[in-house]
Structure formats: structure tokens, C-alpha cells
Amino acid sequence: MGLVGRNGVGKTTLVNSVMGIVRPTQGTISVFGQETTPWPTHKIAKFGVRVVPQGRRLFPTVSVREHLSIAAQGNSGKRAHEWVYARFPALKERAAAAARTLSGGEQSQLAIARAVIAEPRLILMDEPTEGLAPLMVAEVGRLIRLLREEGTSILLVEQNLKFSLDVCDEVAVMSRGQIVHREKVADITDRSRFIDRFMGVEVGH
């Protein structure tokens, strides 16, 4: 599921609300049919929700291997380091490197891998392509498609509408804190027209 919209419309607030970081003033939040509105963040994480935060928020001096070991604590063991390295080969080559020495693309991969190794049912990705070169954006897209094929649910928050259409099954457009349009990607017959209509436009105002 892709959530797209301009800066400041409420996309990151939505992600933080789902994770219990921000408390809603009204309404409820449900994950896989379970209301999680009053739950603390650690309980939501234990329920199977992980976030790839905007800006990646890695520990600068901690190695790739150590990031994965910390994130894997408490998982079933199905996704061990080698499972991750098979899907993120660049990280295997840099396993001993500190996060601060990684390229932007490698840092994005590590942020995603850190979430994936915890074996979540749902991953919230907040602007994972921000600041990346086109080649790295394509690589992140490949990883998202792979996770989708392996059965992981993903909420992708993006400003890049074209990227969202390339990797998502469905997209929702947010404006001023509200969903103003929602459509399955397979039902969009003219992507160029769809992008022209919604990209950079404050819909409904």
C-alpha cells in the first residue's frame, strides 16, 4: 500500500500514530483486525509491526552485523543473518563496517534489513528513497517487490508517486491529514494522467 502526498500533509504523523509514538486525538487504529490505539510502542512492535524511519536513524558507530543482531533478538530464527545477506548482498560485503561508513543506498538497505530480520507482519516505510540516486531508488524498489512476494505487508510512505505506482498494489493520496483518493494500481489505465493529476497537487483545495 502506497501513501503519497506533499510534505506536511500528515504522512509521517500517520506512521508514528500506527507505531504508538503519537497518540490520536480521535478515532481508532487497528492492525490486522486488532485495535492497537491504546498500546505502547513496544507492544505494537511485539505484535509484528516494524518501521523503516525517515532518515534511517541508524547507530553511526555500530556495524551492519551488530544492527542485525540487535534487531533479530526474539525472532523465531527463520530470518537469520544469512537469510538477510542473501537478499541484501551489499550488506554481506559490508557486514563489519560501521553504519556511518555506508553509502546512502547501503544505509537504506540496512534500515530495511533491520526491520525485515525481526520477522514483522507489517513494515511501515517512511520515505525510504529520500536523497537516493536513481540507481539506488531502483534497488530499493527491487527489495520492496521481493518482500511483497514473500508475503510481508508494507505501508510505503512516499512523495515519489511514480515509484509508488511501480512497487505497490494500491495507492492512497493524502492531503491536509485526510485520504482524498484511493485506487488499485491495476485499475489505473493511464499512469501519466494519474501522476499529472496527483503529483505535487494539493487535492480538493
DSSP per residue over 54-98, as a string? Answer: TT----TTSBHHHHHHHHHTTS-SSS-HHHHHHH-HHHHHTTTSB
Q: Which tens digit of pLDDT belongs to each residue from 74-112?
A: 777 778 889 889 888 999 999 999 999 998 889 988 998
What is the homologous superfamily of the domain 2-198 according to CATH? P-loop containing nucleotide triphosphate hydrolases (3.40.50.300)
| Interval 150-174 mean pLDDT | 92
Q: Which residues contact 4 (CB under 8 A, 6 or more apart)?
A: 11, 157, 158, 159, 160, 161, 164, 171, 172, 173, 174, 198
Q: Which residues contact 106 (CB under 8 A, 6 or more apart)?
A: 90, 91, 94
Q: Which tens digit of pLDDT belongs to each residue from 137-148?
A: 888 898 899 889
Considering only CA atoms, which of 137, 155, 147, 142 is closest in space to residue 51?
Answer: 155
Q: Which tens digit of pLDDT belongs to each residue from 16-62?
A: 999 999 999 999 999 999 999 999 999 999 999 999 988 888 999 99
